[in-house]
Amino acid sequence: MFDINFYMNTHQIKKDLENGSKIDKKELFDLLDSYRHKDPIIYNIETTNACNMRCKMCPRTTMMTRDI
Ligand code: SF4
């Protein structure tokens, strides 16, 4: 899920930067942060971390260090 309001509000900034406008990195960060929604827009809900499989592409198989 994307924060469509963020993309709409920052579209002009993106266009200006693409057209060569210069802006201080800190100022740009603060500006973008001001448009960012303060609540999370993505929620990952893990109902369980138990699984009998060990699929190679799964982060659970390769990276998870928590107890099952
Ligand atoms: S992808 Fe991960 S969670 Fe899904 S079956 Fe494979 S090891 Fe289990």
pTM over the 0.75 mark: no
Residue 25 in any domain: the answer is: yes
Number of domains in the chain: 1
Question: Does residue 23 sit within a domain?
Answer: yes
pLDDT tens, residue by residue, 9-54: 999 999 999 999 999 999 999 999 999 888 877 788 888 989 999 9
In the reported structure, the alpha carbon of residue 61 is separated from the centroid of ligand 1 by a whole-number distance in angstroms of 7
| CB-ligand 1 contact for 60 (6 Å cutoff) | yes
Q: Could you tell me the residue range of the domain that residue 15 belongs to?
A: 4-62
- Domain annotation covers residue 36: yes
Burial profile 16-34: b = 16 or more Cβ within 10 angstroms, e = fewer: eeeeeeeeeeeeeeeeeee
Is residue 44 situated within a structural domain? Answer: yes
Report DSSP letters for the chain, one per residue.
Answer: ---HHHHHHHHHHHHHHHTT----HHHHHHHHHHHS-SS-S-----S----S---TT-HHHHT--S--
27 assigned to some structural domain: yes
- 68 within a domain of the structure (yes/no): no
pLDDT at 43: 82
- Between the CA of 2 and the centroid of ligand 1 the distance, in Å, is 26
